Every structure is written in structure tokens, then in C-alpha cells.
Amino acid sequence: MKVSRFFHQGGAQVQPGQTLREAANKMRLGGVSCLPVMAAGAVVALLTERDLVEALARCDRPGEAHVEDYMSDGSISVGLEDDVAVALVKMLAIGCRHLPVVDGSRLVGMVSARDLFLAAVREEAAV
């Protein structure tokens, strides 16, 4: 099964210089727990709920802190034609629940562990 069948297209994004408050509002409005951090048209990092919790615990003024100060590595991605098993292995290897989905170097969406879990359940049900 290919990632292209299970990922979420588009979605909110943030820039490294945006505040954590802006990012948290984008997560809340979009109903997501991870945002790709974009610079010069490319994914440079991810901002996760875990990153926001870290910021709240360490920062005196989280409303003024910036995404770039707390973002996670976002250099790992999956392609549209990658198998879902590849995405799962990458998630397990780096301990994350979300990956950017790219078409070449262009971000086209995100895939979550939940998306891949549902893919596995659907495949098992079809057997």
C-alpha cells in the first residue's frame, strides 16, 4: 500500500520566525498535532505538540518564543509512492508520529501514525 492513499493533503504550515502562540493556534484551528516548518519553499523542521510542551516547561514567555527555538528535525520525509511500511519504519526510527509527504522536493501533505494504523487495519480486514 502506498502512502499516497492515506496521507492528508495540504494543511497548515508555520515559518521558523513565527511565535509558538501562532503555531499553537494553527494546530488548534486545523485539528492537528504537528505542523511542517517551511523556509524557502522546503520543509526544514516539524513543530509537534511535544515541542510545545517542552517550550511551556522551559520558557518564561512561551507567547513570545519562536518556532525555530523549539522545532524538531524535519529532514526525514516520505514520498507519495513509498510503501506505508517505509513510513512506519522511519517513524519508529526517529520516534515520531508524523512525517511530511513530498512529491520530489515539494511538500504535498502529512501522514500520521494513525493514518498508517488505519491502513493496516483496512488491509487486514480485506484479507
The string of pLDDT tens digits covering residues 21-73 is 999 999 999 999 999 999 998 999 999 999 999 998 998 887 789 999 999 88
pLDDT at 48: 93
Q: Please report which residue ranges of the chain form alpha helices under DSSP H.
A: 20-30, 49-58, 84-94, 113-126
> Which pLDDT band, with edges at 50, 70 and 90, does 90 fall under?
very high
Strand partners, 110: 8, 100
Q: What are phi and psi of 17, to 5 degrees?
A: -85, -5
Could you give the number of structural domains in the chain?
1
Give SS3 for 54: helix
Range of the domain at 11: 3-126
On average, the pLDDT of the chain sits at 90
pLDDT at 127: 62
- Residue 11 Ramachandran class (φ > 0 left, ψ -120 to 50 alpha, else beta): left
CATH of the domain at 104: 3.10.580.10
CA distance 42 to 26: 19
pLDDT at 64: 86
pLDDT at 43: 92
